[in-house]
Amino acid sequence: MKPTLRPLRAADHVFLRSVYAAARARDIARSGWDVATADAYVRMQFDAQHGFYRKRYPAGHFDLVLDGDISVGRLYVARETQRIHVIEIGMLPAYRNRGAGSALLGALQREAGARGAAVTTHVESNNRAMALYRRFGFREIGSAGFHRLMEWRADAPSAPPTPTSKDHTA
């Protein structure tokens, strides 16, 4: 899949909540909540997260990931002088492992490499995306609770070549 991006619109929030819910589906299933309680939880948590991201990264790029005309995920990125920070990347389950995340991450690495910047992201230590970031040459440079701060630099001595779009995990 070759994903494209477009800036978020207010009408996208229902879809974005579904991406958030899909990422938390296992935890929600274990909670034993009824549908109404689970929906209220997802709405509250997504709204809090999205609001925090907008406030913390006011110049951030908040984009919908598209496969043709189909909304498949979200990519939130903050471009700073010395780094490109991946705030959030998430795909609906049906579009995971089809190369979209790899294509997006590879494009960010090429952009950062061209301007001598790093790519960073925070990843929960038990998140399966950790393997993707490691495969793309990210190294852990810090931690806070369950989150690991990962960094990729083109000039890092141990950084492998940037994976191609044929790398189909994400």
The predicted pLDDT at position 3 comes to 95
Domains of the chain, CATH where assigned: 4-153 (3.40.630.30)
* Cα 7 → chain centroid: 15
146 or 7, which is more confident: 7
The model's pTM? 0.87
Which whole number is the average pLDDT over 97-120? 94
Mean pLDDT of the chain: 89
Model pLDDT for residues 33-91, shown as the tens digit of each residue: 999 999 999 999 999 999 999 999 999 999 999 999 999 999 999 999 999 999 999 99
159 or 21, which is more confident: 21
Buried b (16+ CB within 10 A) or exposed e, 119-152: bbbbbeeeeebbebbeebbbeeeeeeeeebbbbb
- Band the pLDDT of 170: cuts 50, 70, 90: very low
Q: Per-residue pLDDT for 29 more than 60?
A: yes
Phi, psi of 128 (to 5 degrees): -65, -15
**Token pair for residue 65?**
């990931």
The predicted pLDDT at position 27 comes to 86
The predicted pLDDT at position 157 comes to 61
